[in-house]
Amino acid sequence: MLCSCSSKPIVKVVTQTNTVYVLPPPDWLELCDSPRFIGFSNLDLLNHSLTQTNALAMCNANMLRLQQWRQQYEHND
């Protein structure tokens, strides 16, 4: 009676994982511009210069890292 059960093929389940990277569009990775200075004294100029220089450097460093990340994965498509 069990002979009929042995004729069934053995089914193996194969799982395949595909990683799909959703990359940000190039427009979102443009480097940052610094706003124009509006002030009245040398102290205003100094504060603006220090603040904007640091903010711009951090923004551009982040954008360069994102651009490198995007370039790494856009060629794998």
Express each pLDDT in 32-63 by its tens digit: 777 778 889 999 999 988 888 888 888 889 88
Model confidence at 1: pLDDT above 70: no
- Single pTM value for the model: 0.52
Q: What is the DSSP letter of 76?
A: T
Model confidence at 5: pLDDT above 80: no
- More confident of the two residues 66 and 74: 66
Cα separation, 45 vs 33, in Å, equals 17
Count of beta carbons in the 10 Å neighbourhood of residue 73: 13
Count of beta carbons in the 10 Å neighbourhood of residue 27: 6
Candidate from 2-6, 15-19, 20-24, 61-65 with smallest mean pLDDT: 2-6
